[in-house]
Amino acid sequence: MSCMLPPVCVFCQHFLENNLDRECQAFEEIPNAIMDGKCDHVEPYPGDGGYRFQLIPAERNTFLELNDIRREFNLPAFRLPD
């Protein structure tokens, strides 16, 4: 059995869920390092055009729950921007 946790992107204000041309405002195609959870995109990432992760306020509780699950799997928690 496998478990796939959602990427940090689904909690970001810049994510373009239903856009066929771009996945988010920062990238046409979100880099694997971000999609795989290896990068939380709080810091600059090559090609991001200055966009960084910004939490959708209404998703805060779910975001924090995801971090609890990540910790249970010994994965680093996603950070919130300052």
Is the pLDDT confidence value at 47 over 90? yes
Q: pTM of the full predicted structure? A: 0.88
36: Cβ–Cβ under 8 A, 6 or more apart, which residues? 7
3-state secondary structure of 74: coil
Condensed to tens digits (0 to 9), the pLDDT of residues 12-40 reads 999 998 888 889 999 999 999 999 889 99
